[in-house]
């Protein structure tokens, strides 16, 4: 269960910039740099590297929808939850806590990554629903912006271009669906689920999907 929580927290950190951009489309990211420990800086840089790599693969097209006040309230709520989580972790482990976010500081990532890195066994059960709820809330906020958009990638399984689309599926599942006209049948271990005979990757699987895509593209380059 611990690995799932860590994965959830890292996922939220990964998509945090997208959430902020969704809040204020076309505006530079508004947060100021906080005082971070060298460890947190190293982790943040590593995170930024992974994020650049993954986001460059799953770049969503056209400009986002207009600002939505529910996105702003999601940002603020999640920031509070992330700060609480990091503070609870610091309290339990005895590590020095991160300073709370100052006015106008909207970066939850240091808190998410702090908690992900240090989460003690004692807090696993307590933190699990919070982490999962964070993922759901980010996914839903982003779906308001991204639903319906096509991704400019070639499906590694059916080889069709621009067949992937972000969908808000029944049950509130935000997912990438391969909507190519061709038969698309990824092996069971590489697909999240199915919908109307089409392979579906829920939002939690996107980072993994991006890595798979990267590997497929590299194999393609070597082969050609």
What residues make contact with Zn ion under the rule CB under 5 A? 155, 157-158, 178, 180, 184
Instruction: Provide the minimum distance between the beta carbon of 190 and Zn ion in the complex, in angstroms, as a whole number.
Output: 11
What is the closest distance, in whole angstroms, from the C-beta atom of residue 224 to Zn ion in the complex? 20
**Complex with Zn ion: residue 14 or 205, whichever CB lies closer:** 205
Rg from Cα positions in the chain = 18
Q: Extract the tokens encoding 38.
A: 């060298």
Closer to Zn ion by CB, 21 or 190: give it. 190
Q: How far is the CB of 193 from Zn ion (least distance, A)?
A: 14
The token pair at 95 is: 């590590």
CA distance 131 to 5: 6
Q: Cα(20)–Cα(116) distance, rounded to whole angstroms?
A: 21
CB of 175 to Zn ion, least distance (A): 13
For residues 224 and 206, give the distance between their C-alpha atoms in angstroms, rounded to a whole number: 27
Tokens linked to 202: 């829920």
Q: If residue 42 lies in a helix (H) or strand (E), which one and from where to where?
A: helix 38-57
Paired with 177 in beta bridges are 165, 200
Distance CA 171, CA 166 (A): 15
Q: What's the min distance (Å) between Cβ of 95 and Zn ion? A: 45
Q: Which is nearer to Zn ion, 114 or 164 (CB)?
A: 164
Nearer CB in complex with Zn ion: 140/198: 198
For residue 160, give the 3-state DSSP assignment: coil
């Amino acid at each position: 269960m611990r690995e799932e929580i860590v994965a959830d927290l890292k996922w939220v950190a990964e998509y945090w910039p997208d959430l902020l951009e969704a809040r204020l489309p076309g505006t530079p990211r508004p947060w100021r740099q906080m005082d971070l420990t060298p460890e947190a800086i190293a982790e943040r840089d590593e995170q930024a590297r992974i994020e650049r790599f993954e986001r460059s693969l799953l770049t969503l097209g056209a400009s986002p929808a207009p600002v939505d006040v529910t996105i702003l309230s999601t940002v603020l709520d999640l920031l509070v939850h992330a700060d609480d989580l990091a503070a609870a972790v610091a309290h339990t482990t005895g590590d020095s806590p991160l300073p709370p976010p100052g006015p106008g500081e909207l970066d939850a990532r240091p808190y998410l990554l702090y908690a992900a890195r240090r989460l003690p066994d004692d807090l696993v059960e307590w933190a699990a629903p919070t982490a999962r709820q964070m993922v759901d809330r980010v996914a839903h906020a982003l779906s308001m912006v991204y639903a319906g958009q096509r991704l400019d990638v070639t499906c590694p399984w059916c080889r069709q271009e621009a067949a992937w689309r972000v969908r808000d599926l029944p049950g509130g599942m935000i997912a990438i669906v391969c909507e190519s006209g061709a038969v698309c049948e990824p092996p069971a271990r590489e697909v999240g689920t199915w919908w109307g005979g089409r392979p579906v990757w829920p939002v939690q699987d996107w980072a993994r999907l991006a890595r798979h895509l990267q590997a497929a593209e590299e194999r393609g380059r070597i082969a050609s």
